[in-house]
Structure 1
Amino acid sequence: MVYSIRRRTLLQIGGAAVAVPHLWLPARAEAPAWPTQTVEPFLEVEIASGKIRGGHSRGALAFKGIPYAGPVSGKNRFKAPPPVTPWTGVRDATRLGSPALQAPGGTYGEHEPAYSEDCLVLNVWTPAVKDGGKRPVMVYLHGGGFTAGSGGQNIQDGSHLAATYDVVVVAINHRLGLFGYLYLGELLGPEYAQSGNCGQLDIVAALQWIKQNIATFGGDPGNVMVFGESGGGAKTCAVMAMPAAQGLFHKAAVQSGPMLRGISKESGTETARRVLAGLGISDPAKLLDVPGEKLLALQMQGPKGPLGTATAAYAARHPGPASGGGLGQDVPGNWAPVVDGVALPADPFDPAAPAIAANVPLLIGNARDEATFFVRDNPAFFKSDEAGLTALAHQQIGSAADAIIALYKKTRPQATAPELGIAIMTAMSFGNGTVKIADLKSQQPAPVYRYRYDYQSNVPIKDTDWIFRAGHASDISLVFYNYEIRDLQGQGPGLAQASAAMSSYFTSFARNAVPTAVGQPQWPRYDTARRATMLINTECQVADDPDSEERAFWQSWKGA
């Protein structure tokens, strides 16, 4: 029997409007209790590991909390994920599965269960099952750096995207922080050589599951796109450089998450030594017996706790600050994929794009005002004057601060001090890395498409006269065509049109590697001669080498 979404959808495929017929749904017994709830009529399908029961959600079929690998606690901690354990009977797949162990208090999925060390589950949204469909498969890697987040967050619910654009959407949970990226290869030997990439190996296991099972959900295992925002974009960069992932995906998209380099084995080993010291353990093998909650508590103390206290041997070799640094920075106490020579043989995009992904098309970009996200809880920043900006810049950048501020005052003569600060921090954290990856990848055969997200969120920033603008993570709901779910994107004019444009560009790229959207400009392929960039907004436009003088400075800056 073929189950499908029973409505009629008009969508954009390869530049042409196509009517996709579906059968009518029977009346539902009751309305959803929350927007993303999976409701009747329920249905069963059989995958390689057993039967599952899903249902309907927001115009699509939804199957949630499906195990894609086995348990990774106890003896399997810090190892590659084992195969999924088959089950008998029918497994319920109408609710989200457990997110990875992480600091409490974040906003994830609606009615999501408690965190768990055993978290290797995924969610699938599709227009139809068992219909022989060959739909593009869009595999989303959630943000939250490498320490937080979930594949069940409501703004990345895949229902609307699947129903509107006739695609299959998959979102996964995987190991995070210490459980996903603690490198023990030097301390516990070859059996743990890939321990610094367990979170990435989980993603590979999910891709293998997709290859084996996605046809049941109407998806094409030969047309899979991996994409993600922030930490999810960084994970995508790492996946592109992993030999075990090659052939399991065919396109990639990086949203505000450029990661050029991973963690070195030396830094990873130093982090492991600090973990042992913080726990008062001398035998690394005892890490397998420590309760997961105790390991998480140590991780949550961060650079101010034991992880920020260098071991004596390391301190002797590396005088100065013991730890710190942001996403993907090679410093002890940081969590990110480790360049272990096995799972991740080399840095993803330094000094070149990974050769094994030369034929993988890439869509990449960042938001215009990323940094508002990171300073939104500091009202004083938005009231700073030029002296305050200069002091902050010297603290963060050092001796180059004066030259950078002078450049930005020249290129943005009407900007206030906070606006200059936002622009500088955005370029340092996201813009420069995005351009570097686009430049390197454009030297390979597969096409590259670069964008800048410009839609201005009207969400007010508390205790200031600012709005969020095009800040970090405000584009997630637009990509998923979930603009009506309240979040950082706000509720401003033109939001629906901007979301239609962005979701159409992403889904058409997933379909045929050419991003298109009805009523919006044709998107030129990126190269270093023209640097064509799509400015995504209510009315999109193409700009050649936007902010070129600033871009040239950052590319020549030795601190990059």
Structure 2
Amino acid sequence: MQHKYLSLLVSTMIVGALTACGGGGSALDSLAMNKVALINSGPLQGSAEAGVMSFKGIPYAAPPVGALRWRPPQEPAAWTGVRAAGSYGHDCMQKPYKGDAAPSPVGTEPSEDCLVLNVWRPDEVTPKKLPVMVWIYGGGFVNGSSAAPVYDGSKFAKQGVVLVSFNYRLGRFGFFGHPALTKENPAGQLGNYAFMDQIAALRWVQRNIEAFGGDANNVTIFGESAGGWSVNTLMTSPLAKGLFHKAIAESGGGRNGIVPGRRLSETGPNGLPSAEQVGVTFASSLGVTGEDASALAALRALPADKIVGSLNLLNVFDPTFASAMIDGQIVVDEPGNIFRSGQANKVPYMVGATNMDLGFSSAKTMDEAYAPFGPANRQAAEAAFNPLGTSTVSEVVARIASDMMMVEPARFVSQTLSAQGVPVYEYRFSYVAAAARSQFNGAMHASELPFVFDTLNARYGASVTPQDAQTAKLANDYWVSFAKTGNPNGIGRPEWQAYDTKSDTLLEFSPDGAEKTRSVPDAWKARLDLIQKLY
């Protein structure tokens, strides 16, 4: 309760000061409406709209610029007076991609000074602490923004949740190895600076969320794509233990391969270059050679846009970008290995994918598509992935690639954790917004986002139909209930059965909308069993 008393004290002191100085009524009204929250760094003034209080652009770490580039996040500087928190901060440094599923709004230009977060809570403060949800955006670890309108937390706040979103470093700012960095701090955390930021944001929540009415002992992390991969990384990281109490991974894989064996300093499986080797190659491409302190100083002096280069979602597999790696402290092994070992953080877990999710394949013929299954399973694969015999090569290739990358790994984690006694709820999102049906005959990667956040207007505007709205309300309700209790079920919603390996049941968000959404035995069992054999 300390934060609430301090917040009230600060508000009272400021009101007194404004009154003594002849302050305007609007400022007094603002404070009287409890728009000031006191956190460790100082008091914040948020804004109220339609029953929701929001606080935006809050520094949770010092700007990682200059000598702090490629260092673990440091504590933010404190401030005096009341800091305005009505606007988003900068996005983290990146090359924007117009095709991003959640594009950033105008006015959040990328910058290295980007380690900020945002909080939404109900306008009415009650003595009861509220559950907290912490959102981790996707974007292939090269794009992404907590300021995307689709990620607005208002609908969660209206349901009695404190919603937190934050930025984390991307691209070569977020994932970078170099021998000079290792020499500078041989025993420290290295390489996965993006994950360090995520952990720092969660620690900030533990220290400060009570100032917003949140319960630090009831925190749910959730994320999609790279954000879902991050959830699984945090689930399997010893340094994240105790920082959250429930987790939701949307299209985040879960098997080995999300961190594809990349090591910080050692060559990985099949000769995969270490992150340090990748970093040396990148440095050389910009004329920086050597592995000593002067080389590191030269790298830190490079303009930020030179570090970004052409890296974004269009070329995320750039050989001079290491992406996530096994660093030995935050990421100690591939997630699949840790899930299997029983050493993951055992918290209630929700997981799923869309029915036309993301996957990558170089196959160009049916023979190449089915080759991984071998001759013995060719006929079974044809029956599973092309049951009517009318699908094109590209359709079959997409199904296999999606199942391998997203769909089967979600089932794998469901099977693995549920067998260890962890409550698991699996879903498959198959609903397509009415405005997108002429373009897509299934739910594409990330298409569930405006339904989960119930922000359909931000994505589809006036094209939103009542059926769309009902499906969004249902999805948001499930996510909120899970955050509150660890169980997504509630009165008036179709029952979502906990995952059980024997029944292999998941909740399908039906193509026909909320009224047809049900828990059903997975119709893709034969497909996924074939994929499972490949692992």
Q: Normalising TM by the smaller chain, what interval? A: 0.7 to 0.9
1:74 equivalenced with 2:72 (yes/no): no
1:434 equivalenced with 2:414 (yes/no): no
1:151 maps to: 146
Distance 1:361 1:185, change over 3 A: farther
2:280 maps to: 273
Please provide the CA RMSD for this pair: 3.2
Alignment match of 1:212 (pick from 204, 207, 216): 207
String of CA shifts for 1:232-285, please: whole Å, max 9, x gaps: 100111111222211111110000111434232233122112112211211341
Distance 1:59 1:130, change over 3 A: closer
Distance of 2:160 and 2:487 partners within structure 1: 16
Counterpart AA for 1:235 = S
Q: Shift in Å at residue 374 of structure 1?
A: 8.8
Distance 1:50 1:203, change over 3 A: same
Distance 1:505 1:489, change over 3 A: farther
Alignment match of 2:174 (pick from 175, 180, 195): 180
Counterpart AA for 1:83 = E
Aligned length: 481
Distance 1:354 1:169, change over 3 A: farther
Distance 1:396 1:547, change over 3 A: closer
Q: Shift in Å at residue 369 of structure 1?
A: 1.3
1:238 maps to: 233
Q: Shift in Å at residue 122 of structure 1?
A: 0.4
2:76 maps to: 84
2:425 maps to: 449
Q: Which runs of 5+ in 2 are unaligned?
A: 8-25, 268-273
Alignment match of 1:530 (pick from 487, 500, 503): 503
Contact 2:130 2:162 in 1 (8 A): yes
1:496 maps to: 469
Q: Matched residue of 2:471: which SS?
A: helix
1:363 maps to: 350
Counterpart AA for 1:452 = R
Distance 1:409 1:400, change over 3 A: closer
2:305 maps to: 293
Q: Shift in Å at residue 495 of structure 1?
A: 1.2
1:510 maps to: 483
Distance of 1:391 and 1:92 partners within structure 2: 55
In the superposition, the TM-score normalised over structure 2's length comes to 0.82
Distance 1:218 1:486, change over 3 A: same
In the superposition, the TM-score normalised over structure 1's length comes to 0.78
1:425 maps to: 401
Identity value in percent: 30
Q: 1:23-422, aligned counterparts within 5 Å?
A: 43-106=35-98, 108-128=103-123, 131-163=126-158, 165-184=159-178, 188-189=182-183, 191=185, 193-261=188-256, 262=259, 263-265=262-264, 266=267, 267-283=274-290, 284-285=295-296, 286-297=298-309, 299=311, 333-350=320-337, 352-353=339-340, 355-371=342-358, 391-392=364-365, 400=373, 406-407=379-380, 409-411=382-384, 412-414=386-388, 416-417=391-392, 419-422=395-398
Q: Shift in Å at residue 61 of structure 1?
A: 0.7
Contact 2:93 2:110 in 1 (8 A): yes
Q: Matched residue of 1:467: which SS?
A: coil
Q: Shift in Å at residue 469 of structure 1?
A: 2.6
Counterpart AA for 2:240 = A
Range that drifts further, 80-89 or 255-264: 255-264
Q: Which runs of 5+ in 1 are unaligned?
A: 4-28, 30-37, 304-323, 326-330, 376-388
Contact 1:68 1:209 in 2 (8 A): yes
Distance of 1:80 and 1:129 partners within structure 2: 37
Contact 1:275 1:298 in 2 (8 A): no
1:473 equivalenced with 2:446 (yes/no): yes
Contact 1:41 1:55 in 2 (8 A): no
Distance of 1:448 and 1:232 partners within structure 2: 19
Counterpart AA for 2:391 = T
Contact 1:125 1:158 in 2 (8 A): yes
Counterpart AA for 1:289 = A
Distance of 1:489 and 1:467 partners within structure 2: 19
Distance 1:343 1:467, change over 3 A: closer
Distance 1:416 1:459, change over 3 A: farther
Range that drifts further, 191-200 or 112-121: 191-200
Q: Matched residue of 1:179: which SS?
A: helix
Higher helix share: 2
Counterpart AA for 1:69 = A
2:519 maps to: 542
Q: Shift in Å at residue 501 of structure 1?
A: 1.5
Q: Matched residue of 1:96: which SS?
A: coil
Distance 1:332 1:342, change over 3 A: farther
Distance 1:129 1:518, change over 3 A: closer
Would you identify which runs of 4 or more consecutive aligned residues in structure 1 move more than 6 Å? 401-405
Counterpart AA for 2:245 = H
Distance of 2:319 and 2:528 partners within structure 1: 30
Q: Shift in Å at residue 394 of structure 1?
A: 5.5
Distance 1:520 1:423, change over 3 A: farther
1:384 maps to: none
Distance 1:254 1:490, change over 3 A: farther
Distance of 2:314 and 2:277 partners within structure 1: 14
